[in-house]
Amino acid sequence: MKSVGFISTGVLLLLLGAVAPAYAQNDKHEEEAKAPKQEQQAKPEKQQEQAKPAKQEQHQQQQQAKSQQTQQRQGQEQAKAARQEQTQQAKSQQTQQKQGQEQAKAAKQEQTQQAKSQQTQQRQGQEQAKAAKQEQTQQAKGQHQQQVASSRSPQRTQQAQARQRAEPELRLSARGGGRIPDDRFRSNFGSGHRFRIGSPRMVDGYSRFQYGGYWFGFVQPWPSDWYYTDDVYVDYADGEYFLCNPYYPGNRIVIEVVL
């Protein structure tokens, strides 16, 4: 019985020994078959892992490109803003310069107007002073003539007055006659050449007097307050000859040159 048991045990061990290697071989084959599968499965993952950094780098490059574009766009906008600001500053400077020029022009015009106004005022003042001086001169002359006339009047005695009344009445001559050359007139006539008529002469029925080589006839009557003994002079104005008495300024009578 024991021997049978040993034999059974030995057979069992032999069977186990035979079966174990078979299982071992099967496991080995399975593992070898499994390894390529795992390797194949791991290969895409490895490729993915290897591709992931490249993709990240590409993404980074894209981000950098976008960042550069953004910076470039910002730089362009800043440059554009700077140009616009420079343009505005240039326009502002031009406007200020123009305003300054206009102000300077207005100031110059105002100065010119003031200078003209001052010149006008000065000229008016000079003219007023000249007119006042002339008026004073005329007044002084009038006063002097009045003084001369007043000093002359007392010399007219009753005898002189009677002689004046005894003179024959003047007979006026007709207008017409000749003309004294300018050089002769300047040398012999005018207020600087005074004379006394004395008594007029009757020539061809008309009253006349002679002076400076010329005969003169009366166109207007002899004033009642004039005397033939008064100093008189011949003047010329407006195409006519006048007999003037310095003792009575402003009073004159028309005469004519008789050829």
Query: Rounded distance, CA 83 to CA 89, Å?
Result: 10
Q: Give kind and range of the element (H or E) at residue 194.
A: none
The contacts of residue 26 (CB under 8 Å, 6+ apart) are none
pLDDT at residue 154, rounded to an integer: 39
pLDDT at residue 138, rounded to an integer: 72
pLDDT at residue 257, rounded to an integer: 93
DSSP string computed for 161-178: HHHHHHSPPP-PPPS--B
Positions of the chain with pLDDT lower than 70, given as ranges: 1-48, 50-51, 139, 141-176
pLDDT at residue 166, rounded to an integer: 54
pTM of the model: 0.41
DSSP H helices in the chain? 2-152, 158-166, 182-188
Could you tell me the sign of the dihedral formed by the alpha carbons of 70, 76, 79, 83, in that order?
Answer: negative
pLDDT at residue 112, rounded to an integer: 85
Percent of the chain with pLDDT over 70: 66
User: Of 204, 175, 177, 174, nearest to 258 (Cα)?
Assistant: 177
Q: For residue 255, list its beta bridge partners.
A: 218, 241
Name the residue ranges covered by the structural domains of the chain.
59-155, 169-258
Task: Give the CA distances from residue 147 to residues 106, 140, 141, 201, 223, in Å, rounded to whole numbers and listed in that order.
Answer: 59, 10, 10, 32, 20
pLDDT tens digit sequence for 93-109: 888 988 989 998 988 99
